[in-house]
Chain A
Amino acid sequence: MKYFAKKLIGLFATLLAVSFLVFLAFAVIPGDPATAMLGTQATPERIEALREEMGLNEPLLVRYAAWVADFVRGDFGISYSYRIPVTNMIVDKLPVTLTLMALSFLLIVFVSIPLGITCARYRGGVLDHCIVAANQVVMAIPAFFSGILITLVFGLLLHLFTPGGYVSYQKDWGRFLGYMLFPSIAVALPKIAMTTKLLRASVLSETRLDYVRTAYSRGNGTRAVLYRHVLKNALIPVVTFLGMALADMVAGSIIVEQVFNIPGLGRILLTSISNRDYPVVQAIIVCIAFLVLTINFLVDLVYQMVDPRITIE
């Protein structure tokens, strides 16, 4: 219980710090939303009037305090550019980014764990060498580039999907998932390579331990030993890495959303930054920070599940 209270306080403190930093960043970088909105019609009087209307002439700390007060009450404000509540925008777009992350994560887990174990099992063999070599290459390709390659191969050559033909999940879940599969491959590829490599090394170091010999002596086959005994122990470093990878994927998906023309959180975040649409940027950044913190927390829980000897305090 104490642990949860501590975690919760930490969570709020971090979110506060993050949101304040965003506020500060906008105070430092040039440009303001009023000029962004008025464009070439911007005259000093009109900018002034609009700034007054939007409450931008208040001191930074006053604005920040007002924002926190509203945020705590669940009011994320109204987008300057779209004149719709930020909450609606996020609720609308969050499933897109979450789906992208979830699909990529599933791909990572279901591809890299069998791959890693297979490599370890046939270490030194042709298959192992091939996978290790391929891993090195894939690891070095950033997601946006593999995204372009995937578009080219699966989209334009094989016609498995229509490039840029994103379908909203509100319209058709099946086609939405069909489209999202390809960007999630782009996001997952480098992480699959890293996880495979890590798991292979981890399994190899585990197999030298005594309990493995004991497991064999009890009559288990190689397969059973690897999957039922070794994997559990070998997973600890992999879980840590997956947690980090998941947090990293939040950032990676922002770029991949651009490549695949997906209107998710990342896209909204980018345009809102260039429009200086403060309420939207604030809310999305806090949302992302919250996601990352939650993932870290979940990783802690998973540790305990994988190895009950670990207790979290």
Chain B
Amino acid sequence: MKAKVRNRVLLALVCTALTIALGACAGDKASENTSVISIGIPQDIEDSLDPHKAVAAGTKEILFNLYEGLVKPDSDGNLNDALAAAHTVSEDGKVYTFTLRDGVKFHDGSLVTAEDVKYSLDRCADTSSGDALVPAFSAVESVTILDDKTVALTLKEPDKDFLAYMDVAIIPASNEDPEGNPIGTGPYRFVSRSPQENFILEKFDDYWGTPAYIDRIELKIIANADSIVTSLNGGSIDMFARVSQAMTQQLSDDFEVLEGTMNLVQAMYLNHAVEPFDDVRVRQALSYTVDPQEIMDLISDGRGTQLGSSMFPAFGKYYMEELNDLYPTDLDKARELLAEAGYPDGFSFTLTVPSNYQQHIDTAQVVAEQLKRIGVTADIQLVEWESWVSDVYAGRQFEATVVGLDASSLTAPALLDRFRTDAGKNFINYSSQAYDEAYAKAQASTKEEEKTAYYKECERILAEEAANVYIQDLPCFVALNKKYTGYEFYPLYVQDFSKLRPVEE
């Protein structure tokens, strides 16, 4: 009898528990309230919240909403005054003078002072850990406070393009823990985070510029690519910035798919220090064989923009479309070049690809198939991103790799600097006297047109010497719930949440 009673009680308990659980099964629908938006991001912010130390593109694109510099890029690629009310560049391009905007506040409520600006710029140029904290700032000679509202920055060498780097974040000198407690001046401020779960931002009420529309942004980390579509369709997120072509086809009618470009140079990067890639004829043969159009057709339904050099169309004045036609697909020509170079029967090499980027893996697979046509075998080796960075990028221990390189600022050097013979970032060990000369001339030039012409010369040299097998600028699809609108594509790798707004009903 006792056992029976006990069983009944247990049964009742289990039933109650199940009822509560199932009753609560509505799940976490992204709020009906449009003053909150849930946005999925593919990885957590793991490198640093310190704007000068953050390196991952996925981190920087989020920090763009928290921090601002003296100038700020807009979606058309212009640099507008932000924390500076005005700026002047001296005739010789060596001294940049900024007049600070009045009444700009940090997220902690304090006013932005000339000291904060000097502190931030000096910090970027700080060389105590070897290089300057922000590499471009190694060109800075000094930062001086002229008066309460004016700061001057002097360069070691003239550089008319330096303004593009002045978007580095201005942070308060008083903040002792910028990594754990991010304080900036952006339209959104940091509220809280939970590792691998979420990252929460709230609208900054004292923002100096056009205020953001949406009060609260909940970034949810969705590390498993397979659950992006279910999370969108299920309603737990309202937006995901980079979905694949295949995913867009599975989205429900609640979503609008916006199309832009990723703004990166996807190519098969070849290590010029290893045979046979030191031979220009081999590199050209590969370029004649790899067909970007076929790659785009197979991977993304023909979407994407073919590239012929290390420059993408978002950089309007530097982009040279004509370079795309330099290597039309021509297998006979490719075989001829290979034979000339001493590889009539082809050769084989290892193609290292970071395993976390599906788009590069897909491209590598098509490239490997295409290369078989001229007897060249590419063995694809997938490596973790972390090993890719240490072995391929920093260690330069590789034969060839497929990745996309992006631009960290709106300047030609952001894409072209790495191909100088002695550039630290020259992971492909490219070395060309003609290139170095053209690049040096571009740097030294103070005339806008002349400068552009020299940078174009650089691009032409890269293309003619087939420095890399250029493929494409990938298409970028953004899935956005139809309840919201206002998404803007930038020529840089950033997400601007402050432009998002609910649709008026």
Contact = CB atoms under 8 A, between A and B. Distances in A.
Contact of B28 (A40, A106, A166, A267): A166
Contact of B48 (A37, A84, A228): A37
B130 A275 contact: no
B502 interface: no
Given A263-B195, A271-B223, A167 B21 contact: no
A83 B23 contact: no
B463 to A, nearest CB: 23
A302 interface: no
Interface in B1-40: 3, 14, 17-18, 20-29
Given A177-B21, A181-B21, A44 B394 contact: yes
Given A36-B386, A271-B196, A178 B29 contact: no
B221 A263 contact: yes
A277 B183 CA distance: 25
B180 A161 contact: no
A178 B425 CA distance: 50
B79 interface: no
B174 interface: no
Contacts of B46: 37, 81-82, 271, 275
A274 B46 CA distance: 11
B230 interface: yes
Contacts of B3: 227-228
Nearest to A173: B24
Given A39-B47, A162-B235, A271-B44, A84 B180 contact: yes
> Is the contact region of chain A dominated by helix, strand, or loop, or is it mixed?
helix
Given A30-B391, A261-B222, A261-B231, A175 B26 contact: yes
Interface stretch (A47-55, A120-128, A210-218, A244-252): A47-55
Contacts of A42: 389-390, 393-394
Interface in A145-166: 151, 155-156, 160-166
A38 B424 CA distance: 14
B196 A263 contact: yes
Interface string A265-279: 001100100111000
- Could you say which of A35, A93, A106 has the most chain B C-beta atoms within 10 Å of its C-beta? A35
A268 B46 CA distance: 11
Given A31-B387, A42-B393, A258 B25 contact: no
A206 interface: no
B351 interface: no
Nearest to A29: B387
Contacts of B424: 43
A35 B231 contact: no
A163 B228 CA distance: 10
B227 A163 contact: yes
Given A178-B24, A178-B25, A261-B222, A48 B130 contact: yes
B230 A39 contact: no
Nearest to A48: B130
B130 A39 contact: no
Given A32-B390, A40-B393, A47-B394, A162 B27 contact: yes
B223 A156 contact: no
A41 B60 CA distance: 13
B210 interface: no
A219 interface: no
Interface string B105-146: 000000000000000000000001111000100000000000
Contact of A261 (B14, B17, B47, B224): B224
Q: How large is the interface on A (under 10, 10 to 19, 20 to 34, 35 or more residues)?
A: 35 or more
B233 interface: yes
Contacts of A82: 46, 193, 195
B65 to A, nearest CB: 19
A228 to B, nearest CB: 6
Q: How large is the interface on B (under 10, 10 to 19, 20 to 34, 35 or more residues)?
A: 35 or more
Interface in B78-128: 128
A83 B178 CA distance: 11
Contacts of A37: 46-48, 55
B296 to A, nearest CB: 25
A31 B384 contact: yes
B55 A38 contact: yes
Contacts of B49: 83
A168 interface: yes
A156 to B, nearest CB: 7
B384 A163 contact: no
A168 B197 contact: yes
B384 A167 contact: no
A11 interface: no
B179 interface: yes
A37 B50 CA distance: 12
Contacts of B389: 35-36, 38-40, 42
B433 interface: no
A49 B26 contact: no
Contacts of A38: 47, 55, 389
A40 B393 CA distance: 7
B26 A46 contact: no
A164 B231 contact: yes
A292 interface: no
Given A161-B26, A263-B196, 18 more contacts: A35-B390, A39-B55, A39-B56, A42-B389, A42-B393, A43-B424, A49-B130, A82-B46, A163-B236, A164-B234, A166-B236, A172-B24, A174-B21, A178-B27, A181-B21, A258-B223, A263-B221, A274-B386
18 contacts: A32-B390, A36-B389, A43-B424, A46-B131, A47-B394, A49-B129, A92-B195, A162-B235, A164-B227, A165-B28, A166-B236, A174-B20, A174-B21, A175-B27, A175-B28, A178-B26, A261-B223, A263-B195
Interface of B: 3, 14, 17-18, 20-29, 44, 46-49, 55-56, 128-131, 135, 179-180, 193-197, 221-224, 227, 230-231, 233-237, 384-387, 389-391, 393-394, 424-425
